[in-house]
Amino acid sequence: MIRKPKAGGPEASRKPKAAVKRAARVASPTPVGERATPPKRAAAPGRLTAADIEEIFRRFQAKNPQPKGELEHVNPFTLLVAVVLSAQATDAGVNKATRGLFAVADTPEKMVALGEAKVRDFIKTIGLFNTKAKNVIALSQQLIAEHGGAVPATREALETLPGVGRKTANVVLNIAYGQETMAVDTHIFRVGNRTGLAPGKTPLEVEARLEAVVPKPYRLHAHHWLILHGRYTCTALRPRCPLCPIADLCRWPEKTASVPPP
């Protein structure tokens, strides 16, 4: 005997699958046969145009036509040593330590004669001074043995020296030899990404992007302008956006509306 479902019973509320699907299609705003489009994500800040980039560096140049590095030096050798010592240290701190050091040892030969212990005494106020003293003596010895005491003018040769990486080599090539290099430090890395000028996940990516987009007339001084901008205006924690000369061109969505306290 076949039992009929009771009126109002649970079976009566069940609908055939086809009917459920038809009801869902009627209720849905998406046309039949089309997939629902997921909500769009917020668009990323737009990239700077070539005209924007040209204007950024035009303004930097107008404000500071001949930017200089802040590390004190008297020749390519002392520049090289100063940049090696500046890793994880401030330029002001390095300058304070090297004034006495360079007064007695401004060549590789004099530095080797001075010896590691005395070099360490001069730079003991700088972070990692033990390792840095060893590197200064070792690179001085290598310069004497392989380059006749001269600082080489190629990145490849510089990067073989103890304590010298790509950034250090680029600084020396730019300042000592007038080469159009981009020495990407923490300031340039931040400015390149924050402004949209040279976005990249690594310093090398930011360097490559800068080399591709910085107009030729500005390349020699570009890294100095960007370092100074990051050091004094586009700072890490409290950027001074209202005082920024390129604020209207910057693509950073979190620009501040007021000048932070010192």
* Token output for 102: 């360079």
* Contact in structure between 122 and 97 (CB atoms under 8 Å): yes
Q: Are 163 and 136 in contact (CB under 8 A)?
A: yes
What is the pLDDT, as a whole number, of residue 222?
A: 97
Q: Collapsing DSSP states into helix, strand and coil, what is residue 70?
A: coil
Question: 87 and 81 in contact (C-beta within 8 Å)?
Answer: no
How much is the pLDDT for 36? Answer: 38
| Alpha-carbon separation of residue 85 from 18, 126, 163, 223 (angstroms) | 76, 8, 9, 19
Catalytic residues: 167, 185
Please report, as a single letter, which amino acid is at residue 128.
L
User: Is 171 marked as a binding-site residue?
Assistant: no
Whether residue 224 is annotated as binding a ligand: the answer is no
Q: Are 94 and 71 in contact (CB under 8 A)?
A: yes
The superfamily (CATH) of domain 76-177 is: Hypothetical protein; domain 2 (1.10.340.30)
| Boundaries of every domain in the chain | 76-177
Distance between CA 256 and CA 45 in Å, rounded? Answer: 16
| Cα–Cα distance for residue pair 130/208, rounded to 1 Å | 33
Could you read off the pLDDT tens digit of each residue along the chain, which spans 262 residues?
445 444 444 444 444 444 434 444 433 333 333 333 443 333 345 679 999 999 999 999 999 999 999 999 999 999 999 999 999 899 999 999 999 999 999 999 999 999 999 999 999 999 899 999 999 999 999 999 999 999 999 999 999 999 999 999 999 999 999 999 999 999 999 999 999 999 999 999 999 999 999 999 999 999 999 999 999 999 999 999 999 999 999 999 998 877 676 6
The pLDDT of residue 257 is 75
C-alpha–C-alpha distance, residues 179 and 161, integer Å? 19
What is the predicted pLDDT for the residue at 262? Answer: 61
Closest CA to 151 of 160, 87, 67: 160
Query: By three-state DSSP, how is residue 255 classified?
Result: coil
241 is an annotated ligand-binding site residue:
yes
Question: What six digits make up the tokens of 252?
Answer: 């950073």
The DSSP code sequence of 56-80 is HHHHHHHH-SS---SS--SSHHHHH
According to the annotation, is 67 in a ligand binding site?
A: no
